[in-house]
Amino acid sequence: MERPLRVPPTAGIATKSWEKFGEIIVVESKQEMSTIANDLAFEHVQIMTSDEDFFLRTCKTPAHCSWAREPT
């Protein structure tokens, strides 16, 4: 996480936020991740998946989710 936090103009704020609130959650299944994302309902959620369609169908607030096949 250090490299991406150095880039934006808000790097200082982003770094403090990540240190205080950041979290990486590893799960066993897509359904488990969908449940966790919906339970947490954070404003910004990045889900790393090869099945974006599943999360578009199951995420209650897909506008707040971003999808990635690899870490950003």
Three-state DSSP at 46 gives strand
Per-residue pLDDT reduced to its tens digit, 18-37? 789 888 888 899 899 888 88
* Conformation bin of residue 43: beta by default, left when phi > 0, alpha when psi is -120 to 50: alpha
43 is catalytic: yes
Q: Which of 2, 28, 44, 70 is catalytic?
A: 44
Q: Which of 43, 52, 64, 70 is catalytic?
A: 43
Please give the average per-residue pLDDT across 3-8, as a whole number: 58
Contacts of 14 (CB under 8 A, 6+ apart): 5, 8
- The residue with greater pLDDT, 63 or 36, is 36
The continuous run of DSSP H or E covering 65 comes out as strand 65-68
Handedness of CA 66, 25, 38, 52 (dihedral sign): positive
44 is catalytic: yes
